[in-house]
Amino acid sequence: MGELKKWGLWAIAAYLLFGLCIYYYLFVFANSSVPDIYKETSADPATFLNSRELVLSEEYSKIRDLLFFLSTPYEWLLYLFILIFGVSTVFEKWANQASRFQFVRNAVYLFWLSLLTFVLMFPIRYLSYHFSKTYHISAQEFGGWMKDNVIDFWVNYLIMLVLVTILYALMKQFPKKWWLASWILFVPFTFFLMYVQPVWIDPLYNHFYPMKDKQLESKILSLADKAHIPANHVYEVDMSEKTHALNAYVTGVGSHSRIVLWDTTLQKLNDNEILFIMAHEMCHYVEKHIYFGIAGYLLLAFVGFWITAKWMARWIDRHGQKLHIQSISQLRTLPLFLLIISILVFASSPISNLASRYEETRADRYAIEMTKNKEAAIESFQELTKSGLSQVNPPLLVKIFRYTHPTMLERIHMVETYPIKQK
């Protein structure tokens, strides 16, 4: 136990040191000012934000980025402590005492693990909500925010219960190749989840309905027809009771694919700006970005499962006796599995974000070519920046680990300099 306590102390010390370094990087070292070459252009936030908004966007962005970089290693710390201090072993004993049926045991164990991590992660989630409310990004009252968190808990719990039950059954059946069998079943599960998400999961949080403005919907559908996209409806979602930010996205696969607009976007942008955003989203459909994204995700998952299997086996060989772990298929190893997966997801995020930024750049260019309206594109980007208090030119580490879209500086400059081909 003495050695385990040393692990815990070293982990806490490393986390505190990391936190200090990130704070220094974001609040002291990093420079998010606009280069001189972009000054007084439409990409310069000083041309479309007032002095107060400029200050608030810098403050809020730094706080939000700090919470992001602190939350992920904090999650690792929780999993490590649950593992090395025997909490996971206690949860498995409770589960074994609850029933002789393995599925029920899985359910009991996962409930306690999920509840503990939910409670311990709650302070960081609440801080994120608090600051988004303070800076007038969130419009949601605490009760509504808690309701969404409870829904999140149960949705994630049920999905994890299915995955954990299958995963640990495969570990028992295939002790050496469980990672490969798990990935093979993970492929159809991913497609199934993306297929049902727009129909079963998303409506748990918000109300989706066909666009109310039929005249604007007709313009959007005409644009879809021009892009050879079979579409009968554009969906609207009531996000104004939760946020002041703007968004639009493509979700689902197959016949359940749909383009969704937040009602805040409809309230704050004019028709031409909305048509540009819709053309951008249509590119994701036309160029099959969703399917390329799934393929990349599954490729990373294949590598991730393999690495996780190797690391888990090595960890148990070296430290299994100290942690009272005899086999990888024991439920008490789940925090180790989640710890390694979380580390790999974070480590691979620069790659996935880079691919996403490439696709988003393609979508911006496609939208300009389709709408031939640079002014609408620039104004929509400016309003997105203003409503979300986003940095136009974020620090490099923030861009690498957080940005799935190009920075607004890059997007606006690209629009300004893009040579539109006239027919």
Dihedral, 243, 72, 4, 304 alpha carbons, nearest 10: 130
- Residue 368's closest CA among 277, 233, 253? 277
The two beta strands, 258-262 and 208-210, are unpaired
In the numeric block, which tokens belong to residue 223?
Answer: 């644009």
What distance in Å separates the CA atoms of residue 115 and residue 78, rounded to the nearest whole number? 12
- Burial readout 225-252 (b: 16 or more C-beta within 10 A, e: otherwise): eebeeebeebebbebeebbbbbbbebbb
Confidence tier at 412 by pLDDT (50, 70, 90): very high
Assess whether pLDDT exceeds 80 at residue 212. Answer: yes
202 is catalytic: no
- Spell out the domain ranges in the chain: 2-205+289-417
The pLDDT value recorded for residue 255 is: 63
The pLDDT value recorded for residue 358 is: 96
Assess whether pLDDT exceeds 60 at residue 1. Answer: no
Residues in a beta bridge with 360: none
- Residue 409's closest CA among 34, 46, 64, 49? 34
The pLDDT value recorded for residue 61 is: 96
Confidence tier at 2 by pLDDT (50, 70, 90): low
DSSP state of 64: H
What distance in Å separates the CA atoms of residue 250 and residue 224, rounded to the nearest whole number? 13
**Residues 85-110: tens digit of each pLDDT:** 999 999 999 999 999 999 999 999 99
Write out the binding residues: 280, 284, 360
In the numeric block, which tokens belong to residue 97?
Answer: 């005492």
**Residues 252-287: tens digit of each pLDDT:** 666 666 778 999 999 999 999 999 999 998 899 889
The two beta strands, 258-262 and 235-237, are parallel
Assess whether pLDDT exceeds 60 at residue 114. Answer: yes
Write out the binding residues for Zn(2+): 280, 284, 360
Assess whether pLDDT exceeds 90 at residue 201. Answer: no
What distance in Å separates the CA atoms of residue 391 and residue 60, rounded to the nearest whole number? 9
281 is catalytic: yes
Q: Are 170 and 182 in contact, with CB atoms under 8 Å apart?
A: yes
CB-based contacts of 238, cutoff 8 Å, min separation 6: 206, 207, 263
In the numeric block, which tokens belong to residue 311?
Answer: 């690391």
CB-based contacts of 321, cutoff 8 Å, min separation 6: none
Above pLDDT 70, what percent of the chain? 97
Q: Pick 5 or 41 by higher pLDDT.
A: 41
- Can you give the pTM of this predicted structure? 0.92
What distance in Å separates the CA atoms of residue 361 and residue 327, rounded to the nearest whole number? 47
Q: Which of 65, 92, 202, 281 is catalytic?
A: 281
Average pLDDT over the chain, rounded to an integer: 92
Burial class (CB in 10 A: 0-12, 13-18, 19+), 114: middle
Assess whether pLDDT exceeds 80 at residue 4. Answer: no
Average pLDDT, stretch 227-232? 75
The pLDDT value recorded for residue 217 is: 87
Average pLDDT, stretch 374-386? 94
**Residues 140-168: tens digit of each pLDDT:** 999 999 999 999 999 999 999 999 999 99
Q: Which of 202, 364, 379, 410 is catalytic?
A: 364
Alpha-carbon distance values, 326 to 251, 331, 338 (Å): 43, 11, 18
**Residues 174-191: tens digit of each pLDDT:** 999 999 999 999 999 998
Highest mean pLDDT out of 3-7, 14-18, 199-203:
14-18
What distance in Å separates the CA atoms of residue 52 and residue 36, rounded to the nearest whole number? 21
* Phi/psi of residue 260, nearest 5 degrees: -120, 135
The two beta strands, 248-251 and 258-262, are antiparallel
What distance in Å separates the CA atoms of residue 15 and residue 190, rounded to the nearest whole number? 33
